[in-house]
Structure 1
């Protein structure tokens, strides 16, 4: 008897749940737009890569010659006023080199190549040409890419974020006016993509004395998506 009562109660509960209409979550009417802002600023930091590549018949000679040449490059950096904390080794390798005298035969070991490169941070970009000239004069024969950066990028990006919201509001008000409604508060705000500025890489050409360097400007861009509540919507 008790089991019958429990089954009857369960059936009545299920029937009651089925008879209640589902209350779907209907989002409020909104206008969704994308706001953008761009800020340009001259870079005040830079990175360069400088190194030495040496070839020799055997591994020991290649390594020792490379080590001696790199010592001169590091000394040149120190003489140029670059603090030791602002340069560090980025690549160190010793690789066998092969030639194929007879294309139908196997490769022949011809010697070894040693490479040592350092990444140098410049806190005063006006010194870049002088530093490049100094390291090349000291024996650096492997100048890599040049990166320009903005040290206060976070502050500039925050300013751009505020401007992007203003831009989104402007666009939303245009749509609202055209539709005969007014805007309420923002329902959602989302930053699109990465707001981190991209470092511009410029391949270094062969350097002469007092090499000409054009840092240009760095562009910081922010894009946000904003949904605004609509007031007065039918």
Structure 2
């Protein structure tokens, strides 16, 4: 029994030594590293609107009731536009005391201020202006943010990455040709960065002060960018 165990251990040791000394396959051809980039202009087909409901009353309970009542009215008004309930969400409720600002009475509480948020997902950008007008008329106090986006963002991201890789191959082939060589296979590919740039929310808020709602909330163009690092062999 001991002899069998010794033989097994010896075989395992020989296998381990052999595994450690087996040389790895390494390309002996020269390589070239290239950064590929791609930027695609896209049109938004959805938007997320974030509203604020702010109310003030004498007591915490009265403040909560005022905020809840105002938020319910806004939600009902938005749903009347045909927007599904699953696309409307309310945020957390916050409340804090309001102090007397007169000299010598700064520690005197005169009431309470409460607020909550309402987030609305719009699957049609043409609904943005009407939704904003409806929400404000129903009692929404502030437009906190407006973000445009794409429903199929993931598939567009993959397509942009493919274009970035193609750009890297084109650049690498041109560089290899200049050196009198041919471009070989890709050894490694790394995603260096990805971004989706849309007009800043403040742009819409500024336009809303001087233009009609339809003009103020036009989505404009967005840019999707990708960058990759590819290492190729040169033959």
SS in structure 2 opposite 1:80? Answer: coil
Alpha carbons of 1:24 and 1:73: their partners in 2 closer, same or farther (altered >3 Å)? closer
Q: Contact (CA 8 Å) 1:148, 1:201: kept in 2 or not?
A: no
SS in structure 2 opposite 1:215? Answer: coil
Relative to its length, the structure with more helix (as a share) is 2
Q: Distance in 2 between matches of 1:215 and 1:201?
A: 10
Q: Contact (CA 8 Å) 1:86, 1:121: kept in 2 or not?
A: yes
Say if 2:73 is the partner of 1:72.
Answer: yes
Q: Paired residue for 1:215? A: 219
RMSD of equivalent CA atoms:
2.7
CA-CA distance at 1:100 after TM superposition? 4.8
User: Where does 1:194-233 land on structure 2 (aligned, <5 Å)?
Assistant: 195=194, 197-198=196-197, 200-203=199-202, 205=205, 210-212=213-215, 213-231=217-235
Q: Which residues of structure 2 form unaligned runs of 5+?
A: 1-22
- How many pairs are equivalent? 210
User: Where does 1:91-170 land on structure 2 (aligned, <5 Å)?
Assistant: 91-102=92-103, 107-170=107-170
SS in structure 2 opposite 1:197? Answer: strand
Q: Paired residue for 1:185? A: 185
Structure possessing the higher radius of gyration over alpha carbons: 1
Q: Paired residue for 1:7? A: none
CA-CA distance at 1:153 after TM superposition? 1.5
Q: Distance in 2 between matches of 1:152 and 1:110?
A: 50
CA-CA distance at 1:140 after TM superposition? 0.8
Q: Paired residue for 2:175? A: 175
More off after superposition, 162-171 vs 118-127:
162-171
TM-score by length of 1: 0.80
Q: Which residues of structure 1 form unaligned runs of 5+?
A: 1-22
TM-score by length of 2: 0.79
1:106-131 Cα distance to aligned partner (Å, 9 max, x none): 63322111102110000111011111
Q: Contact (CA 8 Å) 2:34, 2:229: kept in 1 or not?
A: yes
Q: Contact (CA 8 Å) 2:99, 2:106: kept in 1 or not?
A: no
SS in structure 1 opposite 2:114? Answer: strand
CA-CA distance at 1:150 after TM superposition? 0.7
1:52-85 Cα distance to aligned partner (Å, 9 max, x none): 1011222122122222211111110111111000
Q: Distance in 2 between matches of 1:48 and 1:158?
A: 27
Q: Paired residue for 1:55? A: 56
CA-CA distance at 1:33 after TM superposition? 0.4
CA-CA distance at 1:152 after TM superposition? 1.4
